[in-house]
Structure 1
Amino acid sequence: MGYVFLTFVILALLVVFMTVKVVPQQTAYVVERLGKFYAVLQPGITFIIPFFDRVAYKHSLKETALDIPEQICITRDNVQVRVDGVIFIQIVDPQKASYGIADYRFSVIQLSQTTMRSEMGKIELDKTFEERTTLNQAVVRSIDEAAIGWGVKVLRYEIKNITPPQSVLNAMEKQMQAEREKRAVILQSEGEKQSAINIAEGQKQKVVLESEGVRLRQINEAAGEAEAIKSIADATAESIRKVAAAINDEGGMNAVQLRVAEQLVDQFGNLARTNNTLILPANFGDMASIISTAMTVVKQQDKTK
């Protein structure tokens, strides 16, 4: 009886274990009943009928990264390059992923390689490094269209390496070196050109400033001379006015006569010192008469004014 009871307990536990299924989060179980698709079990505790139902497939609904092996591609200009990458996929329909294709992972990898070879054949080697984004998008579009029937969504594709042959790498290195030298020569010539322009511009500004300085100096000198002449004229006029005013004052005429006599004597003295021959007026002895004559001239000039 003990063995029979133990056997019954073991069978009961086995039936319970086969009946109760715990599906983890982000996981889908595909259940078949008598060999035919029955249902997709969602995360949580579910029950199935033992010996009639079985879990045929278990799929992870998480995003998965698949490594794309390195392959040789031929570019538009007939250069062989080695290309590898990585593709990110996610199962969106567990039923199609189970029955739509035998191995969706293998199929995605193969389709990625063939699509990459096709896309690389459309562009030249020099543009392969620039067109990475375009190549990635082309692979995603191509695989996504085919993977709809597989229950798989292609999220993105990334090229990891593009490796040209060593001979091509050497040629590219020489080309880049030549391009760098060319840019260096151009920059140097541009610098020399700009330097020459700056020097010429500086000389031009120097000449302009010097000519402007000369012009301003001449203007200032002319203005100074004019001001000096005006000042002298004003001073002369003022002195004449003061002399005239002094003559009109009391005793002014006597002072003028005395001044004229002094000037006359001084001038004759100068003539005596500088010349051997001295011409004297007929009435030189009559000094009063000479002074009177000079004063008459002064008075007539004063009346004329």
Structure 2
Amino acid sequence: MDDFLNATGLTGGSIVALLLAVFVIIAIFRGIRIVPQSEKYVVERFGRLHAVLGPGINFTVPFLDRVAHRISILERQLPTASQDAITSDNVLVKVDTSVFYRITEPEKTVYRIRDIDGAIATTVAGIVRSEIGQMELDHVQSNRSELIAKIREQVRAMVDDWGIEVTRAEILDVNLDEATRAAMLQQLNAERARRALVTEAEGKRRAVELQADGQLYAAEQEAKAKRISAEAEAYATQVISGAIQENGLEAIQYQVAIKQVDALTAIGNGPGKQLVVVPATALDSFADAFRMFRKE
């Protein structure tokens, strides 16, 4: 050894200093911990939890602190699970569920639960059976979003002690056995037939109502027309009566002349009428009418 030291030119003090420098360098490297963005490190000191290191550069005590667990904080998806459940109306269904979660507090996850995936799957299965057992089959099918919300809230509350955040809990499908499915299909067909009959009956009733409304409207319009015609005739009669009272016989002769003119006009406009015979009395009536016009 002395010959080696003499050959290298190193003394005992130099070797100690060199070893000390090497130890310090190793200690520095062991004390610096660079944690990736997607992970957290659980550090133990003498076998007990000491700290949780977040992403970035962290410093620990060399040879005393050790990284016991490297936990990914990325969102995870459990494998699709199927479990049987019985509704309140005694129908057996098979429910397919899917759960997404992420670890938010690694110190709880690593020291309170061993198989986190299995624990979550068991919890979800129990909650699904409990919730579906309180609902009828029709309600399960038509209110799936409400059922999912209830399951999600209960799962979140139960896994909070494990340092886990459930981000999504979905019911992918609700399957029925063949016998129940056939019975539901028959019920569905019967319901469709009933709705078709109801729709047809309502259509016929509506058609009758519309026809009655149309007839009523026509009767009202006819009555209105007759009333207007009667009012017009009454007005004309009143006017004629006034003229008779005022002009006497001349007014009556004037009305007779007007009627005769109208009759002759109708005869002249008839088909095949080339020759019109005018009575002498008609000419007298025309003369009387002209005299009345001159008076006016």
- TM-score, normalization: structure 1? 0.68
The answer to whether residue 130 in structure 2 is matched with residue 130 in structure 1 is: no
Could you tell me which residue of structure 1 aligns to residue 205 of structure 2? Answer: 193
Structure 2 counterpart of 1:104, from 116, 120, 123: 116
- Give how far 1:21 is off: 1.8
Question: In 2, Cα distance between the equivalents of 1:10 and 1:178?
Answer: 88
Structure 2 counterpart of 1:176, from 163, 181, 188: 188
Could you tell me which residue of structure 2 aligns to residue 143 of structure 1? Answer: 155
Give the 3-state SS of the residue equivalent to 1:78 in structure 2. coil
Which blocks of at least 5 consecutive residues in structure 1 are unaligned?
3-7, 240-305
- Give how far 1:51 is off: 3.9
Question: In 2, Cα distance between the equivalents of 1:113 and 1:100?
Answer: 20
Q: Do the aligned partners of residues 85 and 13 (structure 1) sit closer, same or farther apart at CA in structure 2, a change above 3 Å counting?
A: farther
The answer to whether residue 165 in structure 2 is matched with residue 163 in structure 1 is: no
Give the 3-state SS of the residue equivalent to 2:211 in structure 1. helix
- Give how far 1:89 is off: 2.1
- Contact kept, 8 Å, 1:90 with 1:152, in 2: the verdict is yes
CA shift digits 1:113-151 (9 cap, x unpaired): 122112222222221112323332332333333322211
Root mean square deviation of aligned Cα? 2.9
Could you tell me which residue of structure 2 aligns to residue 256 of structure 1? Answer: none
Could you tell me which residue of structure 1 aligns to residue 64 of structure 2? Answer: 52
Question: In 1, Cα distance between the equivalents of 2:213 and 2:158?
Answer: 69
Give the 3-state SS of the residue equivalent to 1:129 in structure 2. helix
Could you tell me which residue of structure 1 aligns to residue 125 of structure 2? Answer: 113
Q: Do the aligned partners of residues 51 and 155 (structure 1) sit closer, same or farther apart at CA in structure 2, a change above 3 Å counting?
A: same
The answer to whether residue 37 in structure 2 is matched with residue 31 in structure 1 is: no
CA shift digits 1:204-226 (9 cap, x unpaired): 12112112211221221122122
- Specify the structure having the higher radius of gyration (Cα): 1
Which blocks of at least 5 consecutive residues in structure 2 are unaligned?
9-18, 252-296
The answer to whether residue 237 in structure 2 is matched with residue 225 in structure 1 is: yes
Question: In 2, Cα distance between the equivalents of 1:171 and 1:102?
Answer: 45
Question: In 2, Cα distance between the equivalents of 1:15 and 1:106?
Answer: 40
Could you tell me which residue of structure 1 aligns to residue 94 of structure 2? Answer: 82
CA shift digits 1:165-224 (9 cap, x unpaired): 122122212212211221121111111111101111111121121122112212211221
The AA in structure 1 aligned to 2:46 is L
The AA in structure 1 aligned to 2:94 is R
The answer to whether residue 72 in structure 2 is matched with residue 63 in structure 1 is: no
- Give how far 1:75 is off: 1.8
The AA in structure 2 aligned to 1:151 is G
Could you tell me which residue of structure 2 aligns to residue 206 of structure 1? Answer: 218
Could you tell me which residue of structure 2 aligns to residue 154 of structure 1? Answer: 166
46-55 or 82-91, which deviates more? 46-55
- Contact kept, 8 Å, 1:91 with 1:152, in 2: the verdict is yes
Question: In 2, Cα distance between the equivalents of 1:146 and 1:36?
Answer: 26
- Contact kept, 8 Å, 1:136 with 1:156, in 2: the verdict is no
Could you tell me which residue of structure 1 aligns to residue 276 of structure 2? Answer: none
Question: In 2, Cα distance between the equivalents of 1:145 and 1:221?
Answer: 90
